[in-house]
Chains A and B, each alone.
Chain A
Amino acid sequence: MLLTPGLEAYSSDKEHKMSKLLEVKNLKTYFHTEGGVVKAVDGIFYHLDKQEIIGLVGESGCGKSVSQLSVMQLISTPGEIVDGEVIFEGQDLLKFEAHGPEMRSIRGAKIAMIFQEPMTSLNPVLTISQQLTEMLELHLKMSGEAARARAIELLGMVGIPSAEDRIDDYPHQFSGGMRQRVMIAMALSCSPEILIADEPTTAVDVTTQAQLLELMKDMVERFQASLVIVTHNLGVVARYAQRIYIMYAGRIVEEGTTKDIFGKPRHPYTMGLLKCIPRLDEEEGRKLVPIEGLPPNLINMPPTCAFLPRCSYKVGRCFEEPWPQLRHLHDHHYISCYADTEEMRSEPAAR
C-alpha cells in the first residue's frame, strides 16, 4: 500500500509498540443505497493494546458502531467492507470469510461485543441458561452440566443475585440493568481478549450506568481483556478510557491519551464538543458554545474535510486540499487538521 507522508509517520511512530493486540488499518465500510454510496467508515486507523481501555467517541452516524461491526465482520448488505486490514493475533481478520469457521471461532470467543439495547440483543423465547450455555458448549466444547455450572458462576460474577434460581428465567423477567449484566456475562463467557461495548449504557439510568461501567472495568481487569468503549458520552470515556479516538463523518479526527484529548484538544471538532457540553462542575453562568450547523450527510461527501462547514479554525488549505490524514503532534497525540489550532486558539475563543 502506498502511504501518504502523514501515514508513514503514523505507522513508524507506533512500531516500537510490541503489545498491540488489535490493529485496524485503513478500514472502509460503505453502504450502497438507492441515494448513493454512504461512506460510513472511510479509512480509519486505530489500535488496541493488551489490557487497555480505549474510547471511540462521536455523534450518531459518525461510523463508530459500523467500524466495530466491521471488525467483527457483522456487516450485511447493502453494507460492504471495501478496504482495510484488521490485524488480530498476527492475522488479517478481513481475509476470512464472514461466515467461515475462522471468523466463527473468533467472533464471540476472542472478540466479544455488548450491544446498546439489551432487550433486543437477547433472544426473548430462550431462557438465560439456554443462551449462555450455548456459547460455552459451542466455543469451549463444555458438556451440558459443566456449562450450566459455569453459566451460574458467570451470572454471580456480574452481580446477579441468586443466580442458580434466576438462570432459567427469560429475558423479560429481568430489568434493563440486569439484562445488560447478563449480556456482560455472555460476552465474557469465553474469556475474550477484546470486549467491545457499543453504547453499553445509553438505555439505562444513570446510577445503573455507573454500576455497569464499574462492573465492566472490573471484569476486563479480572479477565485480563482489553475494552473498547463506543459512546457519545465524553464523561464516560474521561472516567474509564486510557486513550481516546474522536470520530467525525466516518473518520478519526483526533487521537490521544485521555489527558491530551481533554486537557489539550487540538482538532476543532474535539474543541467544539468540549465547549458545548454542560459540566457538573462548571462555573455558574457559563455559556455553552454550540457547534453551528449540522453533521454532514454521508452521501456524496466532498473530498475536503467534512467538518469544514462548521469549523471556526478553517484556513485556505482546507478548501483546496483533501481531508488530511492524521498527523503526529507529540507522543500519542494525532489530529487530522491543517490548521494550527493551538496558535489560533485565542482568536476564535475571543469572538
Chain B
Amino acid sequence: MNTVAVVEDNADNRLLLQAILDGLYEVVEYENGVDALAGLAAQLPDLVLLDISLPGMDGNEILARIRADDQLRRLPVIALTAHAMAGDREKYLSAGFNDYITKPIVDESLLLSAMEKWIAAGRDGKI
C-alpha cells in the first residue's frame, strides 16, 4: 500500500481525509511544517497532501523547502486549499505544486484520481 503524508492543522480535515483514504493508502499525519519536514525526510511517502493555510510555516513555504531539498524534491505534492480564488490553480502549479484540490471535498474521486496520477508519475520518475 502506498503511503500518503497529510499536512493539515485542522483535526476535522485530518479525520475526513483519513476516512476517504482508509483502506486505500497508509496515512501519516503532520500538523505543522516543522514536524512535516522532519517526518518526510525520515519516512519518505509516495505523495504529500499539503494544506496551504497553516499556522507558522504555511504550505507555500513548506513546498519551497521540499523543492529545495535534494532528498525531497521529487515528491508529488498536491495543494489542499479552501481559498479557491480565480487564478489560484495557475499560481499553485507555477509555484511547484503538482496539483491543486479545493476544500470542501465534495467529489472524492477528483482527489483520488489526482493522487493516483501523481503517485504513478513519481514512481515513473516523471517529477
> A and B: real partners?
no
Which A residues contact B (CB, under 8 angstroms)? none
